């Protein structure tokens, strides 16, 4: 077997290391009513008005408006609109709630949504600007564990934005199928991918967003290391999911640990699931250059369950799992505080991580308070920050402590009774422009002989591989000939390799034939234009046939047995073995098979021994097909019956029917024409198909007293309208039989008075 590697030329990186568009992400809205903006380059509190309706919290430490996202103008950075999916307590039923808000916090006229599930079943909304219309935005939501999208058009509502009519909550995935906290956007080739962890089976779903809109055809990936409930933590939907800015990797935080996946940017498939950390992971975010991954998890060194730390992982070589695991380093940890009410050292979880428009990473953290007392610092800490803060990674592309982590570097104006276990906004990406056209390259010629085949292989870094025959593997074994091609992507550049494979291909030769005895036909069909010579030899049998041709060939009438067929073409020579087996044949019979019938009579012929029957000739039969037929022959005939069984094999049987045309007529020897209605007429009996030639009656003197014009006429005993005397009279009758022979009857009749 020959193997050929289709080596790809080096190409520039075309799946761009996309950064979130800075101005689209200029305003952040998250958590318990927090909102910050980056108008001055660094974060500042405020910038988003509160919604006109803020639902009442259903427990003291989840005092949040819900799951929000804010969209800023792509040129000015000014707030365009925001989306707020409020918390909804379990068991409260369905309510129609304003969700889409204009820049002033006023509900959009068409932005009211029926909410029927509590908050953890809903996911943080994701925003994607339309590439086809700069005044429209896709908003993806996860309500009731389903996926939907809506379109906001900024032309509507006097320029303050509203839902494009008919485009509110268009379904993408049915309810009950998606994990709300684990949806994200990843850059891909020629578009973006909406990726969601599926709740109904073990895997992901990807939906592509391009310049043409949202492709609603899902791409499923069946992968994951943990059990299905681990991704939901018994319904709490713990842990975030983020894609790297270059669209190549996906990080998933769960209560069981941290997973890393590869994303195939040309298809959206999620592959190569691997576990990096086995401690509970909540927040996750890649560095801007996608070479480092930051996560938040409990600090295993502090001994405090509530204490959290920020981990940095080197994922620059994503295929080296051991290197990634050993690269993990804690770059920052929450301080522990003494809370008198609990008589314990404690600190809240860190929350999510997000990249700001300034390229820094922001990590949510907070200190747990109650209404009447504040926690006390534990050494070496001397102060306790109030409520929520951002830790900041100032140089997130730098390895280790060179990333410059800053603890409690920015104070958030949040609710002091809140905890920080909630999510930051996902990045808003512009849809990338379509990539350059496919690069076509020509390959050389490859030859092989009978049956050896050829293995063709793409570059090991190729993705989204499609061979000419639909195969998607890296290496393809083929016996095909002619111009073959493979299409694949490398770094989001599409390539098509074409090459010519010249095989002396073995013709199509069946290895096993079954046929009715003596009817086997071995057909040899060339698959290319070559001249072949053949020698067919029956093993342990007399049959030997030869042929030399460049076209299809059939050997007819072969008996059962084993055969060898030698095939030669040029320098190629091979022998194949063929087995021919007989099929069962029917045993066809007819009852009755030999009978004599009077002319005009019918007989039923019954066939047996097969499944389908055909009679020949069809004349004088009520049908020419079927197991039972009725024959009414007018002449002697032999019928041939052909029977076919379930295997298509035939047998024949014959039935002979002799027709008797000489049917004797009968005349009485006396009659009494006395008018009493009994025997008044002397007539011919037993008339069927006979035709009259002549019929006359004479008296004893030889005088004709009656002559008939029809065989059905009769003598009433009169002659010239006068009664004849009683006595003996003589008749002579001639008629045609059905076979046109003439029959003569002579006799006497007594006229009695």
Q: If you average pLDDT over residues 239-268, what whole number do you get?
A: 94
Q: How far apart are CA 612 and CA 443, in angstroms?
A: 58
Query: 466, 482, 503 — which closes off a domain?
Result: 503
- Reference 584, options 507, 679, 482, 516; nearest CA is 516
Tokens of 647: 């295997």
Q: If you average pLDDT over residues 131-148, what whole number do you get?
A: 93
At residue 16 the predicted structure's pLDDT band, cuts being 50, 70 and 90, is very low
Tokens of 85: 């999916």
Residue 78 located in a structural domain: yes
Q: If you average pLDDT over residues 527-541, what whole number do you get?
A: 88
Q: If you average pLDDT over residues 47-72, what whole number do you get?
A: 62
Q: How far apart are CA 227 and CA 225, in angstroms?
A: 7
Residue 283 has pLDDT above 60, yes or no: yes
Q: Kindly write down the DSSP assignment for every residue of 143-176, as one continuous string.
A: ETTEEEEEEEETTHHHHT-EEPTT-SSEEEE-TT
Q: Are residues 403 and 438 in the same domain?
A: no
- The model's pTM: 0.65
What does the pLDDT look like over 623-657, one tens digit per residue? 999 999 999 998 889 999 999 999 999 999 999 99
pLDDT of residue 347: 66
- Matching residue, tokens 């204490």: 307
- Matching residue, tokens 């190409």: 11
Q: How far apart are CA 708 and CA 224, in angstroms?
A: 109
C-alpha angle 470-472-476 in degrees, rounded to nearest 5: 90
pLDDT of residue 11: 35
Q: Are residues 241 and 354 in the same domain?
A: yes
pLDDT of residue 17: 40
**Residues 6+ away with beta carbon under 8 Å from 411:** 385, 386, 387, 388, 389
**Residues 6+ away with beta carbon under 8 Å from 482:** 500, 501
pLDDT of residue 120: 55
Q: What is the DSSP letter of 506?
A: P
Residue 75 has pLDDT above 70, yes or no: yes
At residue 57 the predicted structure's pLDDT band, cuts being 50, 70 and 90, is very low
| Bigger pLDDT: 403 vs 65 | 403
Residue 398 located in a structural domain: yes
| Bigger pLDDT: 663 vs 731 | 731
Residue 450 has pLDDT above 80, yes or no: no
Q: How far apart are CA 711 and CA 703, in angstroms?
A: 21
Residue 14 has pLDDT above 60, yes or no: no
At residue 12 the predicted structure's pLDDT band, cuts being 50, 70 and 90, is very low
Q: How far apart are CA 341 and CA 614, in angstroms?
A: 101
pLDDT of residue 3: 40
Residue 428 located in a structural domain: no
Q: Are residues 550 and 654 in the same domain?
A: no
Number of domains in the chain: 5
**Residues 6+ away with beta carbon under 8 Å from 515:** 521, 558, 580, 581, 582, 583
pLDDT of residue 414: 59
| Inter-residue contact 205 to 219 (CB < 8 Å) | yes
Q: Are residues 163 and 116 in the same domain?
A: yes
- Matching residue, tokens 């007429």: 681
Query: 642, 660, 678 — which closes off a domain?
Result: 660
- Matching residue, tokens 């009513």: 33
pLDDT of residue 429: 93
Q: Are residues 527 and 645 in the same domain?
A: no
Neighbours of 173 (CB within 10 A): 22
Q: Is the C-alpha dihedral spanning 92, 96, 101, 104 positive or negative? A: negative
Q: Are residues 376 and 474 in the same domain?
A: no
Does residue 638 sit in helix, strand or coil? strand
Residue 517 has pLDDT above 50, yes or no: yes
pLDDT of residue 20: 46
Q: If you average pLDDT over residues 510-536, what whole number do you get?
A: 90
Determine whether 612 is exposed, middle or buried from the number of CB atoms within 10 Å of its CB (0-12, 13-18, 19+): middle
| Inter-residue contact 580 to 559 (CB < 8 Å) | yes
Pick the range with the lowest mean pLDDT from 44-58, 264-278, 281-295, 525-539.
Answer: 44-58
- Matching residue, tokens 């620059």: 316
| Inter-residue contact 544 to 535 (CB < 8 Å) | yes
| Bigger pLDDT: 270 vs 17 | 270
Q: If you average pLDDT over residues 582-600, what whole number do you get?
A: 91
pLDDT of residue 235: 45
| Bigger pLDDT: 64 vs 535 | 535
Tokens of 499: 């090459």
Q: Are residues 67 and 93 in the same domain?
A: yes
| Inter-residue contact 259 to 224 (CB < 8 Å) | yes
pLDDT of residue 570: 77
- Reference 68, options 429, 431, 422, 430; nearest CA is 422
pLDDT of residue 116: 75
Q: Kindly write down the DSSP assignment for every residue of 241-281, as one continuous string.
A: EEE-TTSSEEEEEETTEEEEEEE-TTT--EEEEEEEE-S--
Q: Are residues 604 and 713 in the same domain?
A: no
Q: Are residues 132 and 170 in the same domain?
A: yes
| Bigger pLDDT: 417 vs 215 | 215
pLDDT of residue 382: 76
Q: What's the CATH code of the domain at 461? A: 2.60.40
Give me the domain span that covers residue 620: 589-660
What does the pLDDT look like over 205-248, one tens digit per residue? 999 999 999 999 999 999 999 988 888 754 445 789 999 999 99
Residue 723 located in a structural domain: yes
Q: If you average pLDDT over residues 270-292, what whole number do you get?
A: 94
Q: Kindly write down the DSSP assignment for every residue of 299-349, as one continuous string.
A: -TTT--TT-EEEEEEE-SSTT-HHHHHHH-EEEEEPPPEEETTTTEEE-PP
What does the pLDDT look like over 598-617, one tens digit per residue? 888 899 999 999 999 999 99
Rounded to the nearest 5°, which phi and psi values hold at 159? 80, 5
Neighbours of 549 (CB within 10 A): 12
Please confirm whether the linkage preceding 131 is cis (ω < 30° from 0). Answer: no
pLDDT of residue 89: 57
Residue 10 has pLDDT above 50, yes or no: no
Q: Are residues 533 and 654 in the same domain?
A: no
Q: What's the CATH code of the domain at 70? A: 2.130.10
Q: How far apart are CA 711 and CA 731, in angstroms?
A: 13
Residue 656 located in a structural domain: yes
Q: If you average pLDDT over residues 481-509, what whole number do you get?
A: 85
Query: 411, 444, 464 — which closes off a domain?
Result: 411
At residue 104 the predicted structure's pLDDT band, cuts being 50, 70 and 90, is very high
| Inter-residue contact 597 to 657 (CB < 8 Å) | yes
Q: How far apart are CA 100 and CA 134, in angstroms?
A: 19
Q: Are residues 231 and 377 in the same domain?
A: yes
Q: How far apart are CA 16 and CA 13, in angstroms?
A: 6
Neighbours of 618 (CB within 10 A): 13
Q: N- to C-terminal Cα distance for the chain?
A: 116
Residue 633 located in a structural domain: yes
Pick the range with the lowest mean pLDDT from 281-290, 344-353, 664-673.
Answer: 344-353
What does the pLDDT look like over 189-203, one tens digit per residue? 889 999 999 988 889
Q: Are residues 486 and 526 in the same domain?
A: no
Pick the range with the lowest mean pLDDT from 245-259, 497-511, 613-627, 638-652.
Answer: 497-511
Produce one character per residue of 69-102: b if its CB has 16 or more CB atoms within 10 Å, e if not. Answer: bbbbbbeebebbbbbbbbbbeeeeeeeebbbbbb
């Amino acid at each position: 077997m020959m193997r050929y590697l289709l080596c790809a030329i080096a190409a520039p990186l075309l799946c761009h290391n996309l950064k979130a568009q800075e101005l689209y992400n200029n305003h952040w809205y998250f958590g318990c009513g927090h909102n910050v903006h980056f108008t001055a380059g660094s974060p500042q509190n405020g910038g988003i008005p509160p919604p006109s309706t803020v639902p009442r919290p259903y427990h003291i430490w989840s005092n949040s408006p819900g799951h929000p996202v804010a969209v800023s103008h792509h040129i000015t950075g000014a707030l365009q609109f925001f989306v707020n999916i409020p918390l909804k307590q379990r068991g409260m039923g369905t309510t129609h709630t304003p969700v889409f808000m204009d820049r002033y916090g006023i509900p959009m006229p068409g932005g009211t949504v029926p909410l029927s599930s509590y908050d953890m079943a809903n996911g943080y909304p994701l925003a994607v600007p339309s590439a086809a219309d700069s005044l429209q935005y896709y908003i993806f939501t996860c309500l009731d564990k389903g996926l939907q999208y809506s379109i906001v058009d900024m032309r509507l509502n006097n320029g303050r934005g509203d839902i494009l009519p008919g485009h509110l909550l268009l379904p993408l995935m049915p309810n009950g199928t998606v994990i709300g906290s684990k949806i994200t956007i990843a850059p891909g080739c020629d578009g973006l991918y909406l990726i969601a962890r599926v709740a109904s089976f073990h895997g992901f779903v990807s939906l592509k967003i391009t310049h043409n809109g949202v492709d609603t055809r899902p791409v499923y990936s069946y992968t994951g290391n943990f059990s299905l409930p681990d991704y939901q933590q018994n319904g709490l939907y713990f842990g975030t999911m983020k894609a790297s800015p270059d669209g190549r990797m996906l990080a998933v935080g769960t209560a069981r640990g941290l997973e890393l996946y590869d994303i195939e940017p040309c298809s959206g498939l999620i592959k190569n699931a691997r576990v990096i950390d086995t401690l509970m992971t909540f927040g996750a975010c890649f560095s801007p250059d996608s070479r480092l991954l930051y996560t938040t998890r409990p600090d295993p060194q502090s001994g405090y369950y509530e204490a959290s730390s920020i981990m940095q992982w080197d994922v620059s070589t994503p295929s080296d799992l051991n290197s990634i695991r050993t690269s993990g380093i804690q770059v920052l940890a929450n301080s522990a505080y003494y809370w008198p009410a609990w008589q314990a050292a404690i600190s809240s979880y860190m929350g999510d991580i997000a990249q700001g428009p300034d390229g820094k990473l922001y990590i949510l953290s907070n200190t747990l308070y109650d209404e009447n007392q504040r926690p006390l610092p534990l050494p070496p800490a001397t102060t306790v920050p109030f409520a929520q803060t951002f830790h900041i990674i100032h140089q997130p592309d730098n390895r280790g402590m060179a990333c410059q982590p800053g603890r409690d570097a920015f104070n958030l104006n949040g609710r002091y009774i809140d905890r920080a276990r909630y999510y930051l906004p996902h990045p808003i990406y512009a849809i990338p422009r379509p990539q350059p056209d496919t690069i076509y390259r020509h390959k050389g010629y490859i030859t092989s002989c009978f049956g050896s085949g050829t293995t063709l292989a793409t570059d090991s870094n190729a993705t989204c591989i499609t061979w000419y025959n639909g195969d998607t593997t890296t290496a393809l074994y083929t016996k095909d000939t002619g111009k073959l091609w493979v299409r694949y992507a490398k770094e989001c550049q599409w390539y098509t390799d074409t090459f010519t494979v010249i095989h002396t291909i073995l013709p199509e030769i069946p290895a096993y034939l079954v046929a009715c005895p003596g009817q086997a036909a071995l057909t040899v069909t060339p698959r290319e234009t070559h001249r072949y010579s053949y020698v067919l030899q029956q093993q342990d049998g007399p049959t030997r046939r030869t042929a030399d041709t460049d076209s299809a060939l059939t050997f007819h009438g072969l008996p059962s047995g084993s055969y060898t067929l030698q095939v030669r073409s040029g320098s190629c020579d091979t022998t194949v073995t063929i087995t021919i087996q007989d099929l069962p044949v029917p045993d066809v019979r007819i009852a009755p098979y030999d009978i004599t019938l009077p002319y005009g009579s019918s007989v039923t012929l019954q066939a047996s021994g097969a499944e389908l029957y055909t009679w020949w000739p069809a004349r004088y039969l009520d049908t020419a097909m079927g197991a039972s037929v009725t024959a009414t022959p007018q002449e002697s005939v032999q019928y041939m019956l052909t029977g076919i069984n379930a295997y298509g094999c035939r047998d024949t049987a014959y039935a002979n029917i002799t027709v008797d045309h000489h049917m004797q007529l009968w005349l009485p020897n006396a009659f009494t024409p006395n008018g009493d209605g009994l025997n008044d007429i002397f007539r011919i009996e037993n008339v069927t198909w006979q035709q009259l030639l002549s019929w006359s009656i004479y008296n004893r003197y030889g005088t004709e007293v009656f002559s008939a014009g029809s065989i059905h006429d009769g003598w009433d005993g009169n002659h010239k309208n006068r009664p004849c005397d009683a006595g003996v009279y003589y008749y002579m009758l001639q008629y045609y039989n059905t076979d046109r022979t003439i029959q003569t009857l002579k006799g006497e009749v007594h006229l009695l008075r």
